[in-house]
């Protein structure tokens, strides 16, 4: 990993040294960062300080998700940068940024990406990199990947007991593509795009979920999983 | 100054790495040789399907066989694929529900026989949840009650064994040992489990004759069983509810495992439907059905003749059962015995080095 960033530096150095001062460099270094939040507060694992939109007290133990097929668009010139082999496993206390590296310069004003992995990549699990089944995101009995994993404990309204909550959301119908406007990116200038996830959005909008009312607090498919899929398709990831 | 040297060094090693890759592609003679098994007409399948991303080589199969029988892949060092898929039993384990995984906890389903898997392109496992053999292998490897393995620990183990390093290098030249290549090798091996040399096959190929009871049994099979246990592979590779139960429990912690194909398709006509098992080697693979509930072929035939449970997802051809008298049942079982493939078993015993 360190080697790669040195390499980066090397490439960067090479470019800056060859280009004339006043010309826009042909390439720019872009990275995307993700900050995870819950009800507006920065997420911390294993802390009993969070509440869900339903008011239930909630502690997050694990939060991971796939971001895939990243595209940057300059809508004025209709230029697009399409990342190839674009599969990124993100998570709290895990990867928090995607390095696109040196990409063709443009005034990118839109980012498109998907939550989950596309149907082709989701049809098999003998893959490498972020799709390596070692990452504990591949399903055992139904070939494919978990797109969003949230595990934690909430205080059950009626029993007042700590109750496990497990969301393993996948399946092709829950592959969601998001496009967000970008501001402040200028051709040739290194850029860091900061995005934010909001865990509370998994529980609301359009479908309101109250864990205390769920028939099963382990959700790995079926109608509740699809409701969560609809919830994360919109508003779960925003520009920060 | 120091920094520049570092950069120089890095760019040199970078270009070197690039060239190295290019060379690999030119040195194609070093690549393992494609291995294509010959296929008997009596399988009724045309040719052998080579998956694009995992073409079968002799080297890959040898590696896969070693992995299949290696108990060190499991978390306690005691369970291999062959613990539940034993060659002398046509790769089953003779118990209804295995309790010989790493935890000793009983599984929810019966271990199926393994052969002619290369043609299983409509899904694997009883409910078809696994898309292909390459993806399936991670199931038993990591299932807590099967091999309970941590895939990263397996890679560490494989990388420490000189023999494995060589086998991997031969099968997948210039590729690091990864979960993907390990699983591909196992899949190459399990695809070589081809049963096509039973007495039935010899008969079909005109090499032997059947006696009159065998012939009568064959006709009974054709009339009553072949719509699902289709001749050739003796399965239509499709999913049916063959009337074992009226209703299906769905306990919360079991992820729908008792619902059959419905668990995967969420289609109510698939409730209680399972993949039609092959009837090849059926004499070796007791007990029967997805939960191993029947101990003998007699029990199976009694089920079909008088035990069918009616519900809305029942396969239509079984609505009235398959009534057979004693003599017909005996003839049918005599025919089913001709599907036992001893040559296949001999070939794949663990100590038989004759591979592929």
CB contact under 8 Å between A141 and B178, yes or no, is no
CB contact under 8 Å between A6 and B6, yes or no, is yes
Sign of CA dihedral B147, B148, B152, B154: negative
Residue-wise pLDDT tens for chain B (356 aa)? 344 443 333 333 333 333 333 334 444 556 888 999 999 999 999 899 999 999 999 999 999 999 999 999 999 999 999 999 999 999 999 999 999 999 999 999 999 999 999 999 999 999 999 999 999 999 999 999 999 999 999 999 999 999 999 999 999 999 999 999 999 999 999 999 999 999 999 999 999 999 999 999 999 999 999 999 999 999 999 999 999 999 999 887 788 899 999 999 989 999 999 999 999 999 999 999 999 999 999 999 999 999 999 999 999 999 999 999 999 999 999 999 999 999 999 999 988 876 76
Say if A3 falls within a structural domain.
no
User: What homologous superfamily does CATH list for B199-340?
Assistant: Cytochrome c-like domain (1.10.760.10)
CB contact under 8 Å between B10 and A7, yes or no, is yes
Interface with chain B: mutation pick from A126, A169, A220, highest number of B CBs within 10 Å: A126
pLDDT tens-digit readout, B192-240: 999 999 999 999 999 999 999 999 999 999 999 999 999 999 999 999 9
Residues B294, B295, B299: CA angle, nearest 5 degrees: 60
CB contact under 8 Å between A143 and B129, yes or no, is yes
Say if A72 falls within a structural domain.
yes
Show the domain range for A94. Answer: 26-239
Q: Name the architecture of domain B37-195.
A: Orthogonal Bundle (1.10)
Q: Which residues lie across from A38 on neighbouring strands?
A: A41
Say if A2 falls within a structural domain.
no
* ipTM (interface pTM): 0.83
* pLDDT number for residue A215: 87
Interface with chain A: mutation pick from B138, B140, B152, B154, highest number of A CBs within 10 Å: B138
Which pairing describes strands A27-38 and A191-198: parallel, antiparallel, or unpaired? parallel
Say if A21 falls within a structural domain.
no
* pLDDT number for residue B196: 98
Phi, psi dihedrals of residue B32, rounded to the nearest 5°: -60, 150
Say if A8 falls within a structural domain.
no
Q: Where are the domains of chain B?
A: 37-195, 199-340
CA-CA distance, A14 to B114, in Å (whole number)? 57
Using CB atoms, which residue from A6, A126, A218 is nearest to B135? Answer: A126
Counted domains in chain A:
1
Residue-wise pLDDT tens for chain A (240 aa)? 444 444 444 444 444 444 445 689 999 999 999 999 999 999 999 998 899 999 999 999 999 999 999 999 999 999 999 999 999 999 999 999 999 999 999 999 999 999 999 999 999 999 999 999 999 999 988 999 999 999 999 999 999 999 999 999 999 999 999 999 999 999 999 999 999 999 999 999 999 999 999 988 999 888 999 999 999 999 999 998
Distance of CA A49 to the CA centre of its chain: 23
C-beta separation of B176 from A129 below 8 A: no
Helices of type H across chain A:
2-18, 223-233
Interface with chain A: mutation pick from B130, B176, B186, highest number of A CBs within 10 Å: B130
Sort out which chain A residues have CB atoms less than 8 A from B138's CB and list them. Answer: 125-126, 133, 138, 140
Instruction: Name the pTM for this structure.
Output: 0.89
CB contact under 8 Å between A124 and B135, yes or no, is yes
* pLDDT number for residue A222: 85
Q: Which residues lie across from A53 on neighbouring strands?
A: none
The beta strands (E) that lie in A171-215 are given as 176-181, 191-198
* pLDDT number for residue B351: 85
Say if A155 falls within a structural domain.
yes
């Amino acid at each position: 990993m360190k080697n790669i960033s040195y390499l980066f530096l090397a490439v960067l150095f090479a470019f800056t040294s060859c280009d004339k001062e006043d010309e826009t460099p042909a390439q720019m270094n872009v990275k995307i960062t993700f900050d995870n939040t819950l009800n507006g507060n920065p997420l911390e694992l294993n802390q009993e300080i969070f509440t869900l939109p339903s008011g239930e007290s909630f502690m997050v133990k694990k939060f991971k998700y796939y971001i895939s097929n990243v595209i940057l668009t300059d809508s004025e010139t209709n230029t697009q940068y399409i990342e190839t082999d674009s599969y990124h496993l993100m998570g709290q206390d895990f990867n928090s940024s995607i390095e696109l590296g040196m990409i063709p310069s443009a005034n990118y004003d839109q980012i498109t990406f998907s939550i989950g992995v596309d149907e082709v990549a989701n049809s098999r699990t003998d893959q490498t990199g972020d799709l390596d089944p070692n990452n504990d995101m591949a399903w055992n009995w139904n070939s494919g990947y978990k797109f969003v994993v949230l595990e934690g404990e909430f205080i059950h309204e009626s029993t007042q007991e700590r109750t496990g909550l497990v969301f393993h959301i996948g399946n092709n119908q829950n592959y969601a593509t998001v496009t967000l406007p970008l501001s402040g990116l200028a051709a040739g200038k290194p850029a860091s795009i900061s995005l934010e996830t909001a865990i509370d959005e998994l529980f609301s909008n359009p479908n309101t979920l109250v864990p205390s009312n769920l028939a099963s607090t382990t959700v790995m498919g079926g109608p509740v999983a699809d409701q969560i899929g609809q919830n994360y398709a919109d508003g779960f990831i925003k520009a920060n | 100054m120091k920094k520049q040297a570092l950069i120089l060094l890095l760019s040199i090693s970078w270009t070197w790495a690039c060239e190295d890759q290019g060379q690999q592609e030119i040195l194609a003679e070093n690549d393992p040789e494609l291995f294509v098994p010959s296929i008997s007409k009596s399988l009724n399948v045309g040719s052998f399907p080579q998956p694009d991303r995992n073409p079968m080589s002799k080297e890959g199969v040898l590696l896969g066989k070693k992995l299949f029988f290696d108990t060190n892949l499991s978390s306690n060092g005691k369970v291999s694929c062959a613990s539940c898929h034993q060659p002398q039993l046509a790769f089953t384990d003779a118990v209804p529900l295995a309790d010989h995984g790493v935890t000793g906890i009983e599984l929810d389903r019966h271990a199926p026989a393994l052969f002619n898997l290369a043609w299983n392109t409509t899904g694997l496992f009883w409910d078809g949840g696994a898309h292909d053999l390459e993806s399936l292998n991670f199931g038993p490897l990591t299932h807590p009650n099967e091999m309970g393995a941590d895939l990263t620990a397996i890679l560490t183990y494989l990388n420490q064994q000189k023999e494995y390093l060589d086998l991997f290098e031969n099968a997948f030249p210039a590729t690091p040992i990864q979960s993907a290549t390990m699983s591909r090798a196992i899949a190459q091996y399990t695809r070589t489990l081809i049963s096509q040399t039973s007495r039935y096959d010899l008969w079909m190929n005109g090499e032997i004759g059947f006696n009159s009871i065998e012939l009568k049994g064959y006709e009974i099979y054709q009339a009553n069983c072949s719509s699902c246990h289709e001749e050739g592979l003796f399965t239509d590779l499709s999913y049916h509810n063959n009337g074992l139960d009226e209703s299906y429990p769905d306990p919360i912690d079991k992820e729908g495992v008792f619902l059959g194909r419905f668990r995967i398709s969420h289609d109510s006509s698939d409730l209680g439907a399972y993949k039609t098992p092959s009837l090849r080697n059926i004499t070796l693979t007791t007990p029967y059905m997805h939960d191993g509930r029947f101990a003998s072929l007699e029990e199976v035939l009694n089920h079909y003749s008088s035990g069918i449970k009616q519900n809305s997802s029942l396969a239509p051809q079984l609505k009235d059962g398959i009534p057979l008298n004693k003599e017909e049942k005996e003839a049918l079982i005599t025919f089913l015995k001709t599907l036992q493939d001893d040559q296949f078993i001999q070939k794949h015993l663990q100590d038989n080095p004759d591979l592929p």
